[in-house]
Structure 1
Amino acid sequence: MNLSYWEIKSWLTDVDFTVVGSGIVGLNCALSLRKRFPKAAILILEKGVLPQGASTKNAGFACFGSLSELIDDLENHPPEEVLQLVKQRIAGLQLMRTTLGDKAIGYQELGGYELFLKSDEELYATCLHQRDEVNKLLHPLFKAPVFSLKENSFHFNHIKEHYSFNPFEGQIDTGKMMTSLLALVYKRNIKILNNITVEDISQHGSQVQIKTDHFEFSSSKVFIATNGFASQLLNESVQPARAQVLITQPIKNLPIKGTFHLDRGYYYFRNIENRILLGGGRNLDFKGEETTDFNQTALIQNKLEELLKTIILPNTPFKIDHRWTGIMGIGTTKKPIVKQLNDHVFCGVRLGGMGVAIGSLVGKELADLLDG
């Protein structure tokens, strides 16, 4: 890139803190740094035109885990750790709401539902059997039962006659949330450069040398918040996981309200402006979806359309308006990686598909790793 003296001086000289990634984590990290260091020069580098991973591509679920997901977590984590994960998700959601305000993010608490296929008798029985146990575990956080049963009032097809219902689950407008967050970052005099891919980070004395696809510069500290793309810069246990999504054209008098989980949370849908937004299907091809490629596959897109036709909208004509994908960061545990890598480099990655819930908190925790 042919940079002028003014560009080098104004954007790339005497940079105190560089944040790699302008998603929920990166932006909240920068805001937390600004609060602690009012006069610092803070620069955010983003590889996409918009935040590239999942922050602008998610379904907008303000959730902390469906009943079956929490039961699955209890099989792989001690109860105390599962409780801590839920606590972290609740704290992250509250921080986002406090930072931006409910109106700015389109927050609505319409409750969350989990549907059970008629063919999945074992999962349904397990959830019924362990519901009281999960409610007991979560009682210290909510002071009330979280999961109850509700009849199939939205008339979905081929599912059990009762849903699992969670009154504490909410939803946001993802676009409003990210534009509000970006506006706040600009207001705090934090610079963002888009279409910049960081290729290498190396420490040289008290400075970190950052090589991008357009230029090189140095920064006192670097905070990596690239989640699903973390393996391109870090040697940490983070695997990319693609999420495929579609949305219908508007449907007149669409009665469905709330957020909905299906098949252990591998599918999820909601009503947004009288459209059905539906995503998921990674379980159809786990290996194939461990990718940072933003393409869609016929296997998963066909399955999503089938679910619309047979379960969600069995008696309602619809047309698909748009399809997209996002890249999450997952691992063998649900706990995010927030750590100091050396004297000058820090990372906050592996949000496990819970970026909306924990992204704000992980961003703050990432900034808080810095002493001083």
Structure 2
Amino acid sequence: MNFSYWEIKSWLANLDFTIVGSGIVGLNCALYLKEIYPKANILILEKGLLPQGASTKNAGFACFGSLSEILDDLNTHTEIEVIELVKKRVEGLQLLRQTLGDSTINYQAFGGYELFTENDDLFENCLSEKDNINNLLKPIFNADVFSIKDNTFNFKNIKNQYIFNAYEGQIDTGKMMEALLQKVQSKGIKILNSITVESFSEDQGSVKVKTNQFDFSTSKLMIATNGFASQLNIPEVKPARAQVLITKPIKNLHIQGTFHLDQGYYYFRNIDNRILFGGGRNLDFKTEETTEFAQTKLIQNKLETLLKTTILPDTNFEIDHRWSGIMGVGKQKKAIVKQLSNKVFCGVRLVGMGVAIGSLIGKELAELTQN
């Protein structure tokens, strides 16, 4: 790159912290670093024009797990681990709302619904375990989380009862990220876009960073790339693509709340009188373990079929737009927040819960530097 003296001096010299990724984790990490070290020189590098992974691509669910998801987690995690997962998600959502304000992110507490197809045995299992899970979560909420509600939304091919979660809400993802970006830049933190970090190495008390555009040094490097973490040699994180579509506006759309189907592998909501509908990764896990932003016929056809037969069975609708986001998943659901080496730290593997835990993971990542 043909940098001037001024460009090097203002953007790339004397960097105390460089953060890789300008998503929810990276931006919150920057905010808390500035709180801990008010005079720190902080740079954020983002590979996309916008935060590229899932932070600006998600469905805007302010959730902490449906009943069937929590039951499924108990197959691979201890009760204490599951309680801790839910607790962190709840704390993270509170932190997000506190940081930006409910009106800024258009937070609405309409509750969440889990739906079950007519021939799904999972409903009976959830019903039989509902009281046990409510008791398990009582220390967090001081109340029952899950209850039963009748089908009032005229969905078809769905059991006549839903499992309702009064503590679930929804946000406007775009407004959240806009507000976070503005807050970060108002603190004098710099963001450079379209910069991909290719490699890094520690050298005499600093970290040498190689990007697709230039090389530079930083005192400490914070990796917050989540779904792309494996590209920076964090093997415990695998990418997981989530495909989404949205309809054109629909008149008299009475659907309100957030909705989960098939253990949370499908999810939908009303946004601006449109149905935003995503999921289907479970149809082809191997193909969806990718960092490529694209849609597949298999999943898009399934989403459209479910719209026609189940969600909007008596309504004419048109698809307006389709996209995908990249999450970070792994064998465990606990996020990885750790020191990788003397000067390098990471906060990754948010398993599709970035809205819920991103703020908290960013804070924890910043606090690692105090140890």
Q: Same fold (TM over 0.5)?
A: yes
> Which whole-Å CA distance do the structure 2 matches of 1:179 and 1:254 have between them?
27
Q: Which amino acid aligns with 1:188?
A: K
> Which whole-Å CA distance do the structure 2 matches of 1:40 and 1:70 have between them?
40
Per the alignment, residue 335 of structure 1 pairs with 334
Per the alignment, residue 252 of structure 2 pairs with 253
Q: Which amino acid aligns with 2:354?
A: G
How far off its partner does 1:236 sit?
3.0
Q: Which amino acid aligns with 1:64?
A: F
How far off its partner does 1:114 sit?
0.2
> Which whole-Å CA distance do the structure 2 matches of 1:117 and 1:333 have between them?
28
Q: Tell me the TM-score normalised to structure 2 length.
A: 0.99
Per the alignment, residue 309 of structure 1 pairs with 308
How far off its partner does 1:74 sit?
1.1
Flag as ranges the 4+ runs of structure 1 deviating above 3 A. Answer: none
Q: Which amino acid aligns with 2:311?
A: I
How far off its partner does 1:232 sit?
0.4
**SS state of the match for residue 365, structure 2?**
helix
> Which whole-Å CA distance do the structure 2 matches of 1:290 and 1:243 have between them?
10
- Is 1:139 matched up with 2:138? yes
How far off its partner does 1:235 sit?
3.0
Residue deviations 1:85-132 (CA, integer Å, cap 9, x gap): 000000000000000000110100000000000021x21111011001
Q: Which amino acid aligns with 1:9?
A: K
How far off its partner does 1:211 sit?
0.5
How far off its partner does 1:210 sit?
0.6
> Which whole-Å CA distance do the structure 2 matches of 1:370 and 1:105 have between them?
29
Per the alignment, residue 170 of structure 2 pairs with 171
Per the alignment, residue 103 of structure 1 pairs with 103
Per the alignment, residue 114 of structure 2 pairs with 114
> Which whole-Å CA distance do the structure 1 matches of 2:81 and 2:337 have between them?
16
Aligned length: 371
> Which whole-Å CA distance do the structure 2 matches of 1:43 and 1:302 have between them?
42
- Is 1:240 matched up with 2:239? yes
How far off its partner does 1:2 sit?
1.6
Per the alignment, residue 93 of structure 1 pairs with 93
Aligned pairs for 1:1-372 within 5 A: 1-120=1-120, 122-371=121-370
Q: Tell me the TM-score normalised to structure 1 length.
A: 0.99
How far off its partner does 1:4 sit?
1.3
> Which whole-Å CA distance do the structure 2 matches of 1:205 and 1:127 have between them?
56
How far off its partner does 1:316 sit?
0.3
Task: Please list every run of 5 or more consecutive structure 2 residues that lacks an aligned counterpart in the other structure.
Answer: none
Q: Which amino acid aligns with 2:320?
A: D
Q: Which amino acid aligns with 1:256?
A: I
How far off its partner does 1:234 sit?
2.2
> Which whole-Å CA distance do the structure 1 matches of 2:88 and 2:278 have between them?
24
Task: Please list every run of 5 or more consecutive structure 1 residues that lacks an aligned counterpart in the other structure.
Answer: none
Q: Which amino acid aligns with 1:99?
A: T
> Which whole-Å CA distance do the structure 1 matches of 2:139 and 2:158 have between them?
32
> Which whole-Å CA distance do the structure 2 matches of 1:179 and 1:126 have between them?
41
> Which whole-Å CA distance do the structure 2 matches of 1:235 and 1:205 have between them?
23
> Which whole-Å CA distance do the structure 2 matches of 1:234 and 1:179 have between them?
30
Residue deviations 1:116-174 (CA, integer Å, cap 9, x gap): 00021x21111011001000001111111110000000010001110000000000000
> Which whole-Å CA distance do the structure 2 matches of 1:207 and 1:99 have between them?
31
**SS state of the match for residue 370, structure 2?**
coil
**SS state of the match for residue 10, structure 1?**
helix
